[in-house]
């Protein structure tokens, strides 16, 4: 098996585990996410446990990567270098959070939710992709 095929297999496996985790935790259900954000109503704390699991896994991965000279299937680690908190980061985070709260989806669960074949999920993903295209063609073009 070639290195390229191993990378594809690793990416597929990682995506499958991620999607399975989202499905098992109920995070593909917008009502559950919106229930977490409803702190003054019928608050659903499930997302706290999902996030704790995700942060724990990420912490273990980052700790392990710091002990490695390079990734197993790559030549170098891809780590963000900028530590600047600027207007673009804050506005982008606010837009992401507002969209997440209104729709109950963020990109990962939305893409995994496509497997359910539900029209609202497809509409959300189409709108998300349209927003990405507008950003790349308009916003990022102005920043360059």
Q: In Å, what is the CA distance from 132 to each residue of 28, 114, 126?
A: 21, 18, 10
Check whether 143 has a pLDDT greater than 70: no
Task: Identify which of 47, 53, 12, 100 has the alpha carbon closest to the alpha carbon of residue 110.
Answer: 100
Query: pLDDT at position 108, please?
Result: 86
Residue spans per domain, the chain:
3-143
Q: What is the pLDDT of residues 61-93, one digit of tens each?
A: 999 999 999 999 988 998 888 889 999 889 989
CA distance 30 to 34: 6
Check whether 11 has a pLDDT greater than 90: yes
CA distance 127 to 134: 10
Query: pLDDT at position 5, please?
Result: 92
**With left for phi above 0 and alpha for psi between -120 and 50, is residue 44 left, alpha or beta?**
beta
Q: What is the pLDDT of residues 131-140, one digit of tens each?
A: 889 888 887 7
Q: What is the pLDDT of residues 111-126, one digit of tens each?
A: 888 888 889 899 999 9
User: Looking at the chain, which runs of residues are DSSP E strands?
Assistant: none
Q: What is the pLDDT of residues 15-73, one digit of tens each?
A: 889 888 888 888 888 888 888 888 898 899 988 998 899 899 999 999 999 999 999 99
């Amino acid at each position: 098996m070639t290195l390229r095929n191993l990378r594809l297999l690793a990416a597929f496996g990682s995506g499958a585990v991620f999607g399975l985790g989202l499905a098992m935790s109920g995070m593909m259900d917008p009502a559950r996410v919106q229930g977490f954000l409803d702190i003054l109503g019928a608050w659903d704390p499930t997302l706290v446990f999902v996030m704790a699991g995700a942060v724990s896994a990420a912490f273990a991965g980052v700790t392990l990567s710091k002990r490695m000279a390079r990734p197993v299937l790559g030549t170098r680690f891809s780590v963000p270098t900028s530590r600047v908190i600027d207007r673009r980061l804050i506005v982008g985070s606010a837009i992401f959070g507002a969209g997440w709260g209104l729709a109950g989806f963020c990109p990962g669960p939305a893409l995994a939710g496509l497997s359910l074949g539900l029209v609202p999920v497809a509409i959300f993903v189409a709108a998300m992709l349209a927003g990405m295209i507008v950003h790349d063609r308009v916003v990022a073009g102005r920043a360059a």
